[in-house]
Amino acid sequence: MRLPWLDALLRLDGRGPIDVLEVMLDDALACEANYATFRRLGSRWPLIGHGVALGIGNAEGVDDDYVQAIATLVAKLHVRWYSDHLCFLSAGGVDLGHFAPLASDPETLEVLAENANRVRSAISVPLLLENPADVLGLGASSGAALGASFGACIEAADTGAILDVTNLLYNARNDDFDPLRFIEAMPSERVVQVHVAGGRKVDGLWIDSHDRGVEPESLDLLRVAVRACPNLRAVTLEWDEDLPDFDAVLDQLARVRAVVSEEGRR
């Protein structure tokens, strides 16, 4: 949900074609006006909360003050679940400035499990972890190995999962692996939500820039995910930059909804 679309959202008849809204919890923490807007939207739509600053794989641990702030916000907004990225954000006190993918060696899994337990004990709703974009290529491997590693991390953390099919598609293009093997190898029963978005190629690298419509290949992976994930509860469209008018967003949502409906009838 982006604030420039607020008026158009509120003009919809009832909930319109939207079943759920994902809100960026870090935006609400940073601005009281955003919090008030999210409360207003929550009176009409179920809300799910997403974040980008948890760093659940940080070896030095998660920031307890941040976790408590998220926990308080989750309760006040009545979000259905809270998600962030399966990654580390800092090392040795240095902010990396990007999501760095996690390995699944025993030491990493032990840290991840401890951090996830601290988060889950603080918040009142389920925790989901998302496969991040890997523009640095740090996790390059086969699709099957990467899917199994993602699954090992999710299981060690004992959380649900978000499958970002566009992150998966672009990682596969950049690192030359088969994204279908990733989905086959991951624990699909833990997937509760799917993200779709649009991106672009910059200097030979595919970037999940969230600034354009969803590619057909991402919709193809969405079809696979809908079939493979028995506990899927939400599919959300992400668009953060170069925002179009709201009619274009509704058109994108209609394409996504058509895929979900078609696969759901199979």
* Largest Cα span, the chain: 52
The correct CATH number of 3-251 out of 3.40.47.10, 3.30.70.270, 3.40.190.170, 3.20.20.150 is: 3.20.20.150
Tell me which residue has tokens 């209609």: 254
Distance (Å, whole) CA 65 – CA 24? 18
- What is the pLDDT, as a whole number, of residue 23? 94
In 3D, which of 122, 102, 121, 98 has the Cα closest to residue 58? 102
Contacts of 96 (CB under 8 A, 6+ apart): 88, 89, 90
Token pair, residue 254, equals 């209609």
Radius of gyration of the chain from its Cα atoms, rounded to whole angstroms: 18
Contact, 171 vs 133, CB < 8 A? yes
What's the CA angle centered on 48, arms 131 and 209, to 5 degrees?
Answer: 45
Contact, 93 vs 144, CB < 8 A? no
Contact, 160 vs 191, CB < 8 A? yes
Buried b (16+ CB within 10 A) or exposed e, 216-231: eebbebbebbbebbee
pLDDT in tens, the chain (266 residues): 577 888 888 889 877 889 999 999 999 999 988 999 999 999 999 999 999 999 999 999 999 999 999 999 999 999 999 999 999 998 777 777 778 889 899 999 999 999 999 999 999 999 999 998 887 777 778 999 999 999 999 999 999 999 999 999 999 999 999 999 999 999 999 999 999 999 899 988 888 888 889 999 999 999 999 999 999 999 999 998 888 899 999 999 999 999 998 876 55
- Name the amino acid, one letter, at 41: L
Contacts of 213 (CB under 8 A, 6+ apart): 198, 248, 252
Distance (Å, whole) CA 146 – CA 102? 10
Tell me which residue has tokens 């974009």: 133
Please state at what angle helix 143-157 crosses helix 106-122, rounded to 10 degrees: 50
In 3D, which of 84, 89, 167 has the Cα closest to residue 125? 84
pTM exceeds 0.75: yes
